[in-house]
Amino acid sequence: MSGVQVADSFLVANGKVRGIELHRSRFVGSCAAVGVEAGSFWDEQIGRLPGFGRWFPRFELSLAGELAVQLRPAPPIGGRVRVAVHEGPDPRVAPRVKGPDLELLGKLKESAPDRADEILLLDVDGTVLEAAYAAVAWWEDDVLCFPPADRAILPSVTAALLRQIAATQGVEVAEHARTPADLQSYEVWLLNALHGIRPIHAWAASPIDPLPNSQSTTWQAHLDALAQPL
């Protein structure tokens, strides 16, 4: 377990953020669950973030109950993604809270086989939950799909925003339990606050699939349009 009880990160690009209220709700709610009021701290620190450049700040609640912010330059935005699958049970101790498992997930991702960029975590029935640092979504025909919300997954801000976009676009959304083998037949996306949408182009040691008809560019534009000034 890391020294962090709760954490939340998001991309700040020239003073704008996607889904900032959802990030606030997730962080403040998780802090409240362990007896710490973090709303006023969040609001004060948000006002101090730079209004220029690209940043990836991390709000934290330590095991000692102290609130802090790490102001970090944003890493480069990723492109094509290769994924591997974690063999064995989900190793997380608190899958619905961002923070306690960050160190473990970092080590898991770094040790992913086949030079993979991300590693998928499975439920006890072998179906996909999410990746170490990303939620998972995919297309079955014209339906945008996600793992069932009642599974042990982190509430994803980016996934929530995609559901909002789907509602405005009249796109059907569904939840399904799918294995990695099932998903290899579909266009699959990894979702997080830094990158937004990253399509999976390769599974394990398989060749790179260029995905010439990917919908990701259009949906990334919809996602970026939701960024609001702090």
The 10s digit of each residue's pLDDT in 128-152 is 999 999 999 999 999 999 999 999 9
Q: What domains appear along the chain, each with residue ranges and CATH number? A: 4-70 (3.30.470), 81-229 (3.20.10.10)
The 10s digit of each residue's pLDDT in 162-173 is 999 999 999 999
The percentage of the chain sitting over the pLDDT mark of 90, rounded to a whole number, equals 91
The 10s digit of each residue's pLDDT in 18-43 is 999 999 999 999 999 999 999 999 99
56 contacts 10 by C-beta, under 8 angstroms: yes
What is the mean predicted confidence (pLDDT) over 65-87?
Answer: 93
Task: Give the pLDDT of residue 2.
Answer: 61
In angstroms, the CA 227 to CA 139 distance is: 24
187 contacts 138 by C-beta, under 8 angstroms: yes
Select from 6, 72, 14, 13 the least CA-distant residue to 41: 6
The 10s digit of each residue's pLDDT in 169-222 is 999 999 999 999 999 999 999 999 999 999 999 999 998 887 878 999 999 999
Select from 43, 55, 59, 117 the least CA-distant residue to 83: 117
